[in-house]
Amino acid sequence: MPQAPPDAGPDAPSTPPAPPVLEVENLSIRYGDVSALRNVSLSVHEHEIFGIIGPANSGKTSFLKTLNRMDRFESHMRVEGHIRFLGRDVRAWRNVYALRQHIGVVFPLPVGLPLSIYDNVALSPRLRGVTDRRELDVIVERCLTRAALWDEVKDRLDSLGSLLSGGQQQRLTIARALSQDPALLLLDEFSIAVDPVTTMRIEDVLKELRKEMTIIMVTNLVQQARRLADRTAFFLTGDCVEIGRTDDLFEGKVKDPRTYDYILGRFG
Amino acid sequence: MQGIMYLGGISAIIFIIGIFVFIAKEGLPFLFGAFDLKEFFTSPRWIPTSENNPTYGALALILGTASVTGMAMIVAIPFSLGAAIFIGEFATGKTRETLKILIELLAAIPSVVWGFIGLTIMNGLIIKLFNVPIGLNVLNAGIILGLMAAPIMTTIAEDSLKAVPDKYREAAEAMGATRWQTIRRVVLPAAKNGLVSAVLLGVGRGFGETMAVLMASGHSINIPHSVFDSVRALTATIAAELGETAVGSPHYGALFTLGILLFIITFLINLTADLVVRGIRKK
Ligand SMILES: Nc1ncnc2c1ncn2[C@@H]1O[C@H](COP(=O)(O)OP(=O)(O)OP(=O)(O)O)[C@@H](O)[C@H]1O
Ligand SMILES: [Mg+2]
């Protein structure tokens, strides 16, 4: 994975643009007759936190699902358009499993697998073929530490991950995603089941992570986008209404007045 | 409604206690008479009909039942687990429904029919394939019993796979696990309670099955040294001999003692199942 350029800070996108990690062109998603997303084009740059905001049913989750080709679980999902990840069309990847290993996903409701905490985090390295116990130990400790969970669970790594509290499980899924060593991290409303203090801790973690990876963060809290995202896209009932620098959007420098209305909570 | 359920629960308990009391009562005179604990568990000599020196060694019968059941599990565990994984995780639509119906049909075959298959087809097959003098043995009875136990084991195993929520599969696949890796590393561990109870249920079936084992095992008293030895099972002994004993005779009592033994073994299997499942849950 390429190293972070030295100037990758919140203002990086205005300086010479890094090569896009993700390029989406004319993406449309349908479920049978229901259109979930129409003609979305955007690109996400290396070490960027890209926020996506929008009310319910605007197509945010559907968008994320197409990126790592999780459409298998949605039998009648139809996807049109092009998605290039690391320069390659996601549909042209030799095997979809390798693609998914490069993309970490955190779901809205945390899914602690019914395995021990240790095995939750060691799963992905094991899938990659890591068997050495010490190597796994190191990975597990590092990922749990970075997900701000290590101190709480280090004495009970053998207990079931699915028995942790909601907030802990969410950090466990973040640790699990990190154990994939992903180039791109997708977060779907990660704070929905997490208390505000933990949310802040995770946000701090994300700010650190952006040095190593690119993050796309769907959030229903516009202030969260403001705190974290370099750029933000506003989705509304399947249309990408606007993409802009987060600072600009929150200052009211918008192309479409609906964006600012949504940001100010004057909506619907 | 609650009353009916309460009544059902109570009567089930009363029935079980009643059965146990009955078996114990018939067995007790023998237990306090001709019964010799050491002989019962260590002697392979089961000669209850001897005129002057009847012996009641159940070792060969216990080992007969155990070996046939063990053989049955060697057959049934891979078979039922494989079938459950295929039906639960891979098959869809028509294939799935057809397979499920087929498995249910298999479960409905009466045990005497299975015994007949063992006695005729399997017997000849084993003699021919392995060049042994007699094909009624541990292997034959084990395979027959394994096939008999497999459907119910498959059904329970499949149910426990189905009980694993899809979100786990989705999460694992989102990390790049293949279907098979997902099953092996996430679904099977998550379903292990149900899988363990499926196996224990199969074991219980093995201990309790009578007719098919009677027909396919050769029904001769032997300490088995290989799968080609004929054996005699506890259940088969009771079934074959009870009709020919005088009520209240030592032989009659001895058969009921075998019944008590079976009862205790079955009880222990269920208890283990319970403890295992509970132990896993606690963790
Ligand atoms: N599995 C599905 N089958 C059919 N329609 C679906 C499915 N999933 C989503 N949709 C539809 O697609 C549209 C977009 O849904 P999506 O879940 O992507 O929205 P979202 O922006 O993530 O909403 P939320 O903020 O509530 O999570 C909605 O109209 C929804 O009803
Ligand atoms: Mg959503």
Q: Residue A16 has what pLDDT?
A: 56
Distance CA A225, CA B242 (A): 81
Q: Residue B283 has what pLDDT?
A: 47
SS (H, E, C) chain A: CCCCCCCCCCCHHHCCCCCEEEEEEEEEEEECCEEEEEEEEEEEECCCEEEEECCCCCCHHHHHHHHCCHHHHCCCEEEEEEEEECCEEHHHCCCHHHHHHCEEEECCCCCCCCCEHHHHHHHHHHHCCCCCHHHHHHHHHHHHHHCCCHHHHCCCCCCEHHHCCHHHHHHHHHHHHHHCCCCEEEEECCCCCCCHHHHHHHHHHHHHHCCCCEEEEECCCHHHHHHHCCEEEEEECCEEEEEEEHHHHHCCCCCCHHHHHHHCCCCC
Ligand 1 pocket (Cβ < 6 Å) reads: A 31, 34, 36, 54, 56-62, 74, 220
Distance from CA of B76 to the nearest CA of A (A): 27
Q: Which of A63-67, A130-134, B27-31, B57-61 has the lowest mean pLDDT?
A: B27-31
Distance CA B32, CA B38 (A): 14
Asked whether residue B92 carries a pLDDT value surpassing 80, the answer given is yes
Q: Residue A125 has what pLDDT?
A: 95
pLDDT winner (highest mean) among A78-92, A135-149, A193-207, A254-268 = A135-149
Helices (H), B222-249: 234-241
Q: How far is the CA of A29 from the centre of ligand 1 (A)?
A: 10
B170–A111 CB contact, under 8 Å: yes
Mean pLDDT for the stretch of residues A242-257:
91
A113–B190 CB contact, under 8 Å: yes
Distance CA A232, CA B37 (A): 82
Instruction: Count CB neighbours of A196 within 10 A.
Output: 8
Asked whether residue A86 carries a pLDDT value surpassing 50, the answer given is yes
With bands split at pLDDT 50, 70 and 90, how would you rate the model's confidence at B270? confident
From the number of C-beta atoms within 10 Å of its C-beta (0-12, 13-18, 19+), residue B67 rates as buried
For B167, which of A100, A111, A160 is closest by C-beta distance? A111
Q: Residue A8 has what pLDDT?
A: 46
With bands split at pLDDT 50, 70 and 90, how would you rate the model's confidence at A18? low
With bands split at pLDDT 50, 70 and 90, how would you rate the model's confidence at A9? very low
| Positive/negative CA dihedral, A126, A132, A135, A140 | positive
Asked whether residue A102 carries a pLDDT value surpassing 90, the answer given is yes
With bands split at pLDDT 50, 70 and 90, how would you rate the model's confidence at B281? low
Pocket test for ligand 1, best of A29, A30, A31 (most atoms within 8 A of CB): A31
| Interface mutation target, options A64, A70, A75, A97, chain B, most CBs of B under 10 Å | A97
Using a CB-CB distance cutoff of 8 angstroms, which residues of chain A are in contact with residue B171?
105, 107, 111, 113, 173
Mean pLDDT for the stretch of residues B237-265:
90
Q: How far is the CA of B37 from the centre of ligand 2 (A)?
A: 69
Q: Which tokens is B65 given?
A: 């039942």
Q: How far is the CA of A60 from the centre of ligand 1 (A)?
A: 8
Using a CB-CB distance cutoff of 8 angstroms, which residues of chain A are in contact with residue B190?
113-115
Q: Which of B14-23, B24-33, B253-262 has the lowest mean pLDDT?
A: B24-33
With bands split at pLDDT 50, 70 and 90, how would you rate the model's confidence at A110? confident
**High-pLDDT (> 90) share of chain A, %:** 62
Distance from CA of A195 to the nearest CA of B (A): 22
Q: Which tokens is B101 given?
A: 């119906």
Q: Residue A1 has what pLDDT?
A: 46
Distance CA B148, CA B111 (A): 8
From the number of C-beta atoms within 10 Å of its C-beta (0-12, 13-18, 19+), residue A9 rates as middle
**pLDDT tens digits, B170-181:** 999 999 999 999
Q: Residue B273 has what pLDDT?
A: 79
Q: Residue A217 has what pLDDT?
A: 96
Verdict on whether the full-model pTM lies above 0.90:
no
**Which residues sit opposite A84 in a β-bridge?**
A23, A89
Q: Residue B74 has what pLDDT?
A: 96
Mean pLDDT for the stretch of residues B81-109:
93
Using a CB-CB distance cutoff of 8 angstroms, which residues of chain A are in contact with residue B168?
111, 113-114
Using a CB-CB distance cutoff of 8 angstroms, which residues of chain B are in contact with residue A158?
283
Top CATH class, B2-282? mainly alpha
Asked whether residue A10 carries a pLDDT value surpassing 60, the answer given is no
Nearest residue (CA) to ligand 1, atom 4: A31
Distance CA B256, CA B262 (A): 10
AA identity, residue A124? S
Distance CA B234, CA B61 (A): 5
Provide long-range contacts, Cβ within 8 A and 24+ apart, for B221-225. Answer: B221/B44, B221/B45, B221/B46, B221/B60, B221/B61, B221/B64, B222/B44, B222/B60, B222/B64, B223/B44, B223/B59, B223/B60, B223/B63, B224/B63, B224/B64, B224/B67, B224/B138
Q: Residue B31 has what pLDDT?
A: 85
Q: How far is the CA of A218 from the centre of ligand 2 (A)?
A: 8
Distance CA B249, CA B260 (A): 17
Q: Residue A265 has what pLDDT?
A: 85
ipTM of the complex: 0.84
| Sequence spans of domains, chain B | 2-282
Tell me which of 3.40.50.300, 3.90.1150.10, 3.20.170.30, 3.90.190.20 is the CATH number of domain A22-263. Answer: 3.40.50.300
B177–A177 CB contact, under 8 Å: no
**pLDDT tens digits, A116-142:** 999 999 999 999 999 999 999 999 999
Mean pLDDT for the stretch of residues B20-46:
86
Q: Residue B111 has what pLDDT?
A: 92
Asked whether residue A84 carries a pLDDT value surpassing 50, the answer given is yes
Distance CA B54, CA B251 (A): 9
B176–A159 CB contact, under 8 Å: no
Asked whether residue A200 carries a pLDDT value surpassing 70, the answer given is yes
Residues A180/A102, Cβ–Cβ less than 8 Å? yes
Asked whether residue B61 carries a pLDDT value surpassing 90, the answer given is yes
CA of A63, closest atom in ligand 1: 18
Q: How far is the CA of B32 from the centre of ligand 2 (A)?
A: 73
Residue A101 contacts B where some CB pair is shorter than 8 Å: yes
| Interface mutation target, options A72, A111, A174, chain B, most CBs of B under 10 Å | A111
